[in-house]
Amino acid sequence: MRNKKPIKNRKNTQKKYYSGKKKRHTVKTQVVVNKKDRTVICTAFSEGRKHDFNLYKKSKAHAKPETKIMTDTGFIGIKKIHGNSELPHKKKQKQKLSKEQKNENRQISSQRVANEHAIGFIKRFKIVSERYRNRRKRFGFRFNLIAGICNFDMTA
């Protein structure tokens, strides 16, 4: 009798992709966009249960110290890793933001619009915004192909 491989427990592999917030299995995608020409520079993928900042630390998509990074509030703590970074102020519990902080948030979000437009352009291909019904292994490859198509369209 030959030795059989032990059957991998399917629940164990699926469990790390289950997002309790969205109540389904998800893949988290991080996109780094060049603000000037809206091209996708770098992508990173992880199972759905990973926090944005933890994915950033794990992805090795770090920038040079002179490069300015603009992120959303999911990246609190990035100042310790990268000094030249901007993120909006968060409202504290039972406290309002001052007018000065609101104006700073408005300026940051107006500069981040180019990044959001590039992400929206990728979402037109429905690989990110709809359910991905193919093999999880190939998600990164397909997403990078779509990012390449978007880069080609942006530069042409």
Q: Give the domain range for residue 31.
A: 26-151
**Better-scored residue on pLDDT, 25 or 82:** 82
Residue 104 lies in a domain: yes
At 12, the pLDDT band (50, 70, 90 cuts) reads low
Phi and psi at 101, nearest 5°, equal -65, -40
Tens of pLDDT, residues 50-79: 888 888 888 877 788 888 888 888 888 888
Residue 139 lies in a domain: yes
Tens of pLDDT, residues 109-119: 998 898 889 88
CA distance 103 to 75: 20
pTM of full prediction above 0.85: no
Please count the structural domains in the chain.
1
Residue 1 lies in a domain: no
Tens of pLDDT, residues 26-55: 888 888 898 888 889 888 888 877 888 888
Residue 103 lies in a domain: yes
Which residues are CB-contacts of 104 (< 8 A; sequence separation ≥ 6)?
Answer: 88, 89
Residue 8 lies in a domain: no
Chain centroid to CA 60: 13
Average pLDDT over residues 133-146: 88
Residue 77 lies in a domain: yes
Burial class (CB in 10 A: 0-12, 13-18, 19+), 13: exposed
Looking at residue 149, its pLDDT comes to: 92
Of 149, 156, 142, 145, give the one whose Cα is nearest residue 121: 149
**Better-scored residue on pLDDT, 44 or 3:** 44
At 92, the pLDDT band (50, 70, 90 cuts) reads confident
DSSP 45-106: EEETT--HHHHHHHHT----TTS-EE--GGGTTHHHH-SSEE-PPPPPTT-PPPHHHHHHHH
Residue 13 lies in a domain: no
